[in-house]
Amino acid sequence: DAGITQSPRHKVTETGTPVTLRCHQTENHRYMYWYRQDPGHGLRLIHYSYGVKDTDKGEVSDGYSVSRSKTEDFLLTLESATSSQTSVYFCAIRTGGGHNEQFFGPGTRLTVL
């Protein structure tokens, strides 16, 4: 499982509330990613990080922010959740050493009512 955990694993929240999802890794990987998965869309990149305090936007970043204050933790925040953000969220890490493989965490199922 590449030492990746996500919390919470399931969350139900209401429209307009803030939500923070956490991704934790134990293997000191530099690159970390947040994806969302929706039926018919595959996985789409939200934000990624290439080091502590270094982040950049992905394909579907509107409505999301991220932070990485420690190598091991990458946080995804929905400042004001909307029903369109109901999805399964996956965190991933990228291995180093010239390899580009990305390995995924177990996912967080978020429902916004």
Q: Where on the chain is the footprint of other proteins (CB under 8 A)?
A: 31, 33, 40-45, 48, 50, 56, 58-59, 90, 94, 100-107
Nearer to other proteins, 53 or 100 (CB): 100
Can you read off the two tokens belonging to residue 86? 């109901």
- Shortest spacing between CB 112 and other proteins, in angstroms: 20
- Shortest spacing between CB 92 and other proteins, in angstroms: 8
Residues 6 or more apart whose Cβ sits within 8 Å of residue 35 = 43, 44, 45, 46, 58, 89, 90, 91, 92, 104
Nearer to other proteins, 85 or 102 (CB): 102
Q: Are 74 and 23 in contact (CB under 8 A)?
A: yes
- Shortest spacing between CB 67 and other proteins, in angstroms: 17
Count other C-beta atoms under 10 Å from residue 99's C-beta. 8
